[in-house]
Amino acid sequence: MRIIIAGAGEVGTHLAKLLSSESHDIVLLDQDRERFKQDVASFDIMTMVGSATSLNDLTEAGVKKCDLFVAVTPEESANINSCMLASFLGAKKTFARIDNYEYLLPKNAEVFQKLGVHAMFYPEMLAAKEIVSAIRHPWARLWFQLCGGEMVLVGVKVRENAFIVNKYLSELNADQKKYHVVAIKRNNITIIPNGSHQILANDLLFFAVTKDHVNEIPKITGKKMFEVKNLMIMGGGRIAIRTTQYLPDNIRIKLLEPAMDKCQKLAEKVPSNVTIYHEDGRNTDFLIQEGIEEMDAFVALTGSPEVNILSCMAAKRFGVQRTVAEIENMDYIPMAESFDIGAVINKKIIAASNIFRFLLDADVSSAKRLSFADAVVAEMVVREDARITKKPVKSLNLPASITLGGLIRDGKAMMIDGETLIQANDHVVVFCLDDALKNAEKLFG
């Protein structure tokens, strides 16, 4: 597949490296030669200096034979215009990064489709929604709804006092109709487990579970369910603004921003349940004065991953139960996990999740790359005569790097076991390691 990525910033470069590992023909296009990262040279990526809104440059980049054109430059208008031009010149699918959520409304999305902009994503809005999910489910490291919310992927770090500690998965068979442990993250290694795997304290477990049984998960993993009523946010950027707008208005929010001009603008954009402070969140005396010890959750959204990690660590020491950090440097994510930071927000991973499903031949309703694991979860729709419908699951000889979490059939959620015979039009939750999604896709085609 030929893919052109316009914009060699952090998101574009990350996508190019990610997609090149799957043997795609990648062209990374940018006007500024200096934006091409040195580490791109070690990947199978073609770089080209040129403008995404130039017909000549797009033609030279090979847009006429392009299967997917992705525009992720810093300029929204350039992204939209370049997608329109790429589509006009022959690109099969186009994908634009935007900054205006109104473009995503169904009535407007249809207009853009006709203009040749086939899909759009607003990373800051998606990041805010992930933060809201983390605040609504503070006991979980990950909460990702699939199949219209009928099935949920939940990531939980197992406490030492948990019911399931030291048990083998085969011992949990009686509960397999309620949930399925689809992966174990242990010592920075992601395992697709089978019945012989033992659960250890401090494992990060990923469960596929139906919405009717999701409350079973905190019980067996040693977690206590609680409601966030007091929240402190450090950093007043676009993600913070969207987060305050999406959270329930019964949550009392304290937002810290060191730049006075930003504080003045924030006052016009955030809801009435938000109190804005012109203050640096690294000021420990101020945090104590403003009741950090009474906060249920702390969210760090500054432009510095180091500051965000350290701030969440400090909040933990003050007794804050739930912390969330924006960490754009991929190398820091394992560090955040080792420091027990609850949830990580990374716009590059969010972008990859949204774009990835456009690359698959199978029908994929949703897909997500996981911050804390080198893995992907996807909701795939089974086609007529697909290979996966020919035998019960136990006879499919699935690769060790792939597991099936559950399915939706005729609107009803159910877990999958060895005897399950998957049928056409089933929506199946597939969990696999990063390099195995193409193999999983072949089963559904």
State mean pLDDT over 142-160: 91
pLDDT number for residue 176: 62
Last-in-domain residue among 320, 337, 372 = 320
Task: Identify the band that residue 360 occupies on the pLDDT scale cut at 50, 70 and 90.
Answer: low
Residue 214 and residue 265 share a domain: no
Evaluate whether residue 93 is within a structural domain: yes
Evaluate whether residue 422 is within a structural domain: yes
Evaluate whether residue 326 is within a structural domain: no
Residue 433 and residue 363 share a domain: yes
Q: For the sheet containing 230-234, what is the strand order?
A: 274-278, 252-257, 230-234, 297-300, 322-326, 343-345
Domain that holds residue 428: 350-444
pLDDT number for residue 129: 94
Task: Identify the band that residue 174 occupies on the pLDDT scale cut at 50, 70 and 90.
Answer: low
Question: Considering only 12-26, 85-99, 178-192, 231-245, which range has the smallest mean pLDDT?
Answer: 12-26
Last-in-domain residue among 192, 220, 248 = 220
Residue 112 and residue 12 share a domain: yes
Strands 93-97 and 68-71: parallel
Evaluate whether residue 395 is within a structural domain: yes
Which CATH number do you get for residue 379? 3.30.70.1450
Which CATH number do you get for residue 245? 3.40.50.720
Q: Angle at CA 205, nearest 5°, toward 203 and 367?
A: 140
Residue 362, pLDDT above cutoff 60: no
pLDDT number for residue 417: 85
State mean pLDDT over 306-316: 95
Question: Considering only 20-29, 248-257, 316-325, 388-397, which range has the smallest mean pLDDT?
Answer: 20-29
Residue 439, pLDDT above cutoff 80: no
Residue 40, pLDDT above cutoff 80: no
Evaluate whether residue 128 is within a structural domain: no
User: Is this prediction's pTM over 0.85?
Assistant: yes
Determine phi and psi for 222, rounding to 5 degrees: 80, 25
Of 79, 123, 83, the closest CA to residue 101 belongs to 123
Residue 92 and residue 148 share a domain: no
Residue 200 and residue 257 share a domain: no
Evaluate whether residue 343 is within a structural domain: no
Last-in-domain residue among 320, 341, 368 = 320
Evaluate whether residue 278 is within a structural domain: yes
Residue 438, pLDDT above cutoff 80: no
Average pLDDT across the chain, whole number: 90
Residue 56, pLDDT above cutoff 60: yes
Pick the more confident residue, 344 or 353.
344
Residue 407, pLDDT above cutoff 60: yes
Residue 357, pLDDT above cutoff 60: yes
Residue 105 and residue 159 share a domain: no
Residue 173, pLDDT above cutoff 70: no
Residue 39, pLDDT above cutoff 70: no
Residue 304 and residue 279 share a domain: yes
Residue 188, pLDDT above cutoff 70: yes
Residue 359 and residue 285 share a domain: no
Task: Identify the band that residue 31 occupies on the pLDDT scale cut at 50, 70 and 90.
Answer: very high
Tally of structural domains, the chain? 4
Question: Considering only 25-39, 229-243, 295-309, 420-434, which range has the smallest mean pLDDT?
Answer: 25-39
Share of the chain above pLDDT 70, in %: 96
Question: What is d(CA 125, CA 368) in angstroms, rounded to the nearest whole number?
Answer: 16
Contacts 24+ apart (CB under 8 A), 50-58: 52/6, 52/7, 52/78, 52/79, 52/82, 53/78, 53/81, 53/82, 53/85, 55/85, 55/89, 57/29, 58/4, 58/82, 58/85, 58/86, 58/89
Question: What is d(CA 144, CA 335) in angstroms, rounded to the nearest whole number?
Answer: 22
Residue 258 and residue 178 share a domain: no
Residue 140, pLDDT above cutoff 80: yes
- The distance from CA 67 to its chain's CA centroid, rounded to whole angstroms, is 24
Residue 244 and residue 215 share a domain: no
Question: Considering only 181-195, 266-280, 301-315, which range has the smallest mean pLDDT?
Answer: 181-195
Evaluate whether residue 167 is within a structural domain: yes
Residue 13 and residue 117 share a domain: yes
Residue 91 and residue 11 share a domain: yes
Q: Provide the phi-psi class of 332: left if phi over 0, else alpha when psi is between -120 and 50, else beta.
A: alpha
State mean pLDDT over 14-26: 81
Query: Which tens digit of pLDDT belongs to each residue from 91-139?
Result: 999 999 999 888 988 889 889 999 999 999 998 999 999 999 999 999 9
Task: Identify the band that residue 15 occupies on the pLDDT scale cut at 50, 70 and 90.
Answer: confident
Residues 6+ apart with CB under 8 A from 380: 362, 363, 364, 365, 427, 428, 430, 440, 441, 444
